[in-house]
Amino acid sequence: MGEAGEALVLSDNIGLKPITHFVQGYHQTMFEGQLWHVLSFFSVKNNVWIVTAQRDDVRQELVSQIMHNAVIVPLIVVPLTLLIVSLLFYLLFRPLKTFERELISRAPNDLTPLTMSLPKELVPVRRALNLYINSIARFIARERRFSADAAHELKTPLSVIKLHQHGLESLIDDDPQQKFHLAAIDAGVEQMSHTVEQLLVLARVDSINELNVSSHGILPMIEDALNQLMPQITDYEWNIDIASDLTVKCDRFYLLLVLKNIIENACKYSPKESEISVSACAVDDQICICIADKGQGMTQQQIASATERFYRVNENEGIGAGLGLSICHHIIELHQGRLVLAAREHGGLSVTIFLPCDQHKSNRETIGAGRAA
Q: Per-block average pLDDT, block size 10, for the chain (373 residues)? A: 63 70 82 84 82 86 84 84 89 83 81 84 88 87 76 77 78 78 81 78 76 91 93 91 92 93 91 93 91 90 87 64 86 92 90 80 38 36
The pLDDT, as a whole number, for residue 279 is 95
- For the domain covering 123-206, report its CATH number: 1.10.287.130
The pLDDT, as a whole number, for residue 252 is 93
The model's pTM: 0.58
The pLDDT, as a whole number, for residue 365 is 38
Rg (CA), the chain: 44
The pLDDT, as a whole number, for residue 21 is 74
Distances (CA, A) of 271 to 57, 71, 96, 195, 265: 99, 80, 56, 23, 12
The pLDDT, as a whole number, for residue 215 is 92
143, 207 in Cβ contact below 8 A? no
Same fold, 123-206 and 214-367: no
The pLDDT, as a whole number, for residue 68 is 81
The pLDDT, as a whole number, for residue 320 is 63
Range 214-367: architecture per CATH: 2-Layer Sandwich (3.30)
- Residue 232 CA, chain-centre distance (Å), reads 38
Per DSSP bridges, beta strands 237-241 and 247-250 are unpaired
What values do phi and psi take at 228, rounded to 5?
-75, -15
Nearest to 165 by CA among 180, 147, 183: 183
The pLDDT, as a whole number, for residue 227 is 93
Domain locations along the chain? 1-104, 123-206, 214-367
The pLDDT, as a whole number, for residue 372 is 39
